[in-house]
């Protein structure tokens, strides 16, 4: 699907449908919606009145009318924007996604749309175009790549699965505004397509998305430099914790390092670290079947990091040096895999008693964190991981957990998430939780007091590998990385969670 912009009169535009909007509680439509109503001879407002109980203009509601030849388009789709005084980025994105869902239902190929909400709630033309485009592309996403032999040639491999809907045209009355609309579209294309790419990787199965697959994807991104450590190098560099997890599987493990360097001087250096466990069986501390079923998604942090770096390279206008580190391997039981009680030495010299091989995320991340800091000495260090089931228990699918060493950094990420339409809820790293790390035989244990503050325990473990005074945030995305109920802009399955947050954080977008 593509989004484009033209100057013109939406009522005269040739497309299968025209998308207009309505704020909740408004009975007499004005603006662009009112103009379309006039061309329709007042049918639209009559219908709205007649169906006032069924369609109220609530956020994400849609109502479809035939145009009976009064417009070049066959349908008018009215999308609810919610209450005008509550207008926020979320509304614009969600309304647009809902309109695209309505187009999917009508099985049409094209639509012309008003630029919802421009000039309202502080959203200028460019932001409104960006949010509309994001919503449309995110809402139109479907993972169809592995469906049926006959569809494979139609399925694209570029991060957007096969589309039925083809073209959305933003019709803008004033030609002066067109450049701003186009700028918004350009930005949103990159944000949404890379979110959809991350979704593809998370949705695809673990026999396809292996560590080698992630490595190959990372290596082929234009505009980034990519270096990859293999198992021998991981071992040689003293990453004993990562090595222990990686040794148990036939699939070769890698530590991928992607770098974006700006044209001019970099104002800041940021390192992102993403957990890339392409399948988490638990290892010898084997998961029960039901908990294992979805563990192809345990590389969602890695997907978010790689997709974000790819977006940054495509936009190529960020005055920040960005590094992406992805430790990637499988967590499997085998004759070579780690045994509960094994003791290893991590790259920073600390010894770890691995009492539970299912707490593997922190083992691969701790060495990646040490390595990332050694290699880049970043101003800000973020890690993203589907780290704990406890985080899903605490926050459900609605939000990721966030914790770290720098409140300002956490605030900025949370704010970025709010604007991006993703929630991150703070969890504490209290000194009391240090007790969770206590081992009788090593410096620390990888899985402490069961049933108590499990997400914070994971954070406390990782904190042991973060340099003093480093601004660091740990994002536990175990919940929102995968959902089983649709939201308009987030179809069920892999969500690509955090790609948007990271880009809004890096670009400081509102
Ligand atoms: N990948 C899992 C966490 C997870 C659970 C992600 C559910 C998404 C949905 C992680 O490796 C894990 O197994 N964590 C253990 C930690 C425990 C052994 C300390 C858990 O949550 O049970
Ligand atoms: Zn895991
Ligand atoms: Mn695990």
Q: Residue 265: is its pLDDT beyond 90? A: yes
- 326 vs 355: CA distance, rounded Å: 24
Span 89-109, average pLDDT: 96
Portion of the chain with pLDDT greater than 70, in percent:
97
Mean pLDDT in the chain?
A: 95
As given in the structure block, the two tokens for residue 384 are: 């993203």
- 170 vs 124: CA distance, rounded Å: 15
**Rounded to the nearest 10 degrees, how much is the dihedral formed by the CA atoms of 337, 342, 348, 350?**
170
* 186 annotated active-site: no
**Domain 2-172 = CATH 1.10.8.50:** no
The CB of 356 under 6 Å from ligand 1? The reply is yes
Span 282-294, average pLDDT: 98
Alpha carbon of 41 to those of 71, 78, 128, 170: distances in Å?
11, 16, 29, 23
Ligand nearest to the CA of 387: 1
**Structure-token match 């089983």, residue found:** 484
Measured from the Cβ of residue 256, the count of other Cβ atoms closer than 10 Å reads: 26
Contact 169, 6 (CB under 8 A): yes
Please report the pLDDT score of residue 159 as a whole number.
42
197-507 is classed in which CATH architecture?
3-Layer(aba) Sandwich (3.40)
Alpha carbon of 486 to those of 115, 295, 301, 423, 492: distances in Å?
24, 20, 21, 16, 5
Bridge partners, residue 75, by sequence: 17, 66
Please report the pLDDT score of residue 162 as a whole number.
56
Catalytic entry in 287, 412, 415, 423: 287
- 468 vs 291: CA distance, rounded Å: 36
- Do 2-172 and 197-507 fold alike per CATH? no
Please report the pLDDT score of residue 164 as a whole number.
85
Instruction: Report pTM.
Output: 0.96
Q: Residue 161: is its pLDDT beyond 70? A: no
Please report the pLDDT score of residue 150 as a whole number.
52
> Ligand 3 centroid vs 279 CA: distance in angstroms?
9
Q: Residue 231: is its pLDDT beyond 70? A: yes
- Count of H-run helices and E-run strands, the chain: 15, 20
Q: Residue 154: is its pLDDT beyond 60? A: no
Catalytic entry in 362, 397, 463, 470: 362
* 70 annotated active-site: no
CA-wise closest residue to 202 among 446, 332, 386: 386
Q: Which atom of ligand 1 is nearest to the CA of 446?
A: 19
**Domain ranges within the chain, ordered by starting residue:** 2-172, 197-507
Bridge partners, residue 277, by sequence: 329
Please report the pLDDT score of residue 163 as a whole number.
59
The CB of 360 under 6 Å from ligand 1? The reply is yes
Q: Residue 46: is its pLDDT beyond 90? A: yes
Q: Tell me the range of 117-126, 157-166, 298-307 where mean pLDDT is highest.
A: 298-307
Tens digit of each residue's pLDDT (9 = 90 or more) over 316-326: 999 999 999 99
Tens digit of each residue's pLDDT (9 = 90 or more) over 321-347: 999 999 999 999 999 999 999 999 999
């Amino acid at each position: 699907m593509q989004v484009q912009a033209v100057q013109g009169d939406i009522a005269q535009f040739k497309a299968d449908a025209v998308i207009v909007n309505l704020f909740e509680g408004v009975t007499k439509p004005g603006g662009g919606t009112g103009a379309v109503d006039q061309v329709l001879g007042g049918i639209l407002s009559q219908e709205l009145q007649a169906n006032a109980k069924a369609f109220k203009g609530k956020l994400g509601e849609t109502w479809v009318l035939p145009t009976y030849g009064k417009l070049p388009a066959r349908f008018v789709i009215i999308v609810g924007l919610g209450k005008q005084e509550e207008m926020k980025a979320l509304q614009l994105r969600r309304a647009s996604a809902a309109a695209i869902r309505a187009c999917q239902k009508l099985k049409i190929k094209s639509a012309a749309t008003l630029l919802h909400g421009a000039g309202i709630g502080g959203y200028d033309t460019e932001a409104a175009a960006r949010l509309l485009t994001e919503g449309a592309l995110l809402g139109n996403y479907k993972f169809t790549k592995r469906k049926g032999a006959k569809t494979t040639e139609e399925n694209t491999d570029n991060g957007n699965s096969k589309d039925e809907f083809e073209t959305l045209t933003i019709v803008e009355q004033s030609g002066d505004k067109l450049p701003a609309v186009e700028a918004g579209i350009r930005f949103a294309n990159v944000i949404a397509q890379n979110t959809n790419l991350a979704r593809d990787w998370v949705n695809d199965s673990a026999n396809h998305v292996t560590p080698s697959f992630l490595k190959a994807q990372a290596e082929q991104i234009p505009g980034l430099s990519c270096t990859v450590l293999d198992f021998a190098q991981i071992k040689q560099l003293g990453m004993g914790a990562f090595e222990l997890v990686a040794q148990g599987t036939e699939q070769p493990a890698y530590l991928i390092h992607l770098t974006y360097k700006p044209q001019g001087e970099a104002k800041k250096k940021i390192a992102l670290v993403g957990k890339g466990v392409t399948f988490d069986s638990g290892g010898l501390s084997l998961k029960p079947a039901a908990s294992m079923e979805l563990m192809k998604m345990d590389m969602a942090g890695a997907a978010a990091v790689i997709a974000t770096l790819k977006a940054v390279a495509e936009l190529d206008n960020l005055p920040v040096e960005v590094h992406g580190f992805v430790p990637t391997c499988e967590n499997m039981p085998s004759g070579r895999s780690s045994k509960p009680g094994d003791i290893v030495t991590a790259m920073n010299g600390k010894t770890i008693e691995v009492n539970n091989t299912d707490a593997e995320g922190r083992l691969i991340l701790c060495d990646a964190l040490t390595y990332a800091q050694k290699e880049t000495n970043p101003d800000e260090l973020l890690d993203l991981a589907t780290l704990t089931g406890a985080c899903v228990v605490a926050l459900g699918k609605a939000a990721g957990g966030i914790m770290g060493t720098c409140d300002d950094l956490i605030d900025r990420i949370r704010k970025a998430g709010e604007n991006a339409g993703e929630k991150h809820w703070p969890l504490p790293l209290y000194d009391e939780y240090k007790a969770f790390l206590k081992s009788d035989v090593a410096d620390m244990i990888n899985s402490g007091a069961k049933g108590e503050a499990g997400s914070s325990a994971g954070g406390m473990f990782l904190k042991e590998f973060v340099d003093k005074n480093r601004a660091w945030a740990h994002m536990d995305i175990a919940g929102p990385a995968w959902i089983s109920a649709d939201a308009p802009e987030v179809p069920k399955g892999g969500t690509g969670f955090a790609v948007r947050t990271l880009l809004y954080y890096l670009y400081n977008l509102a």
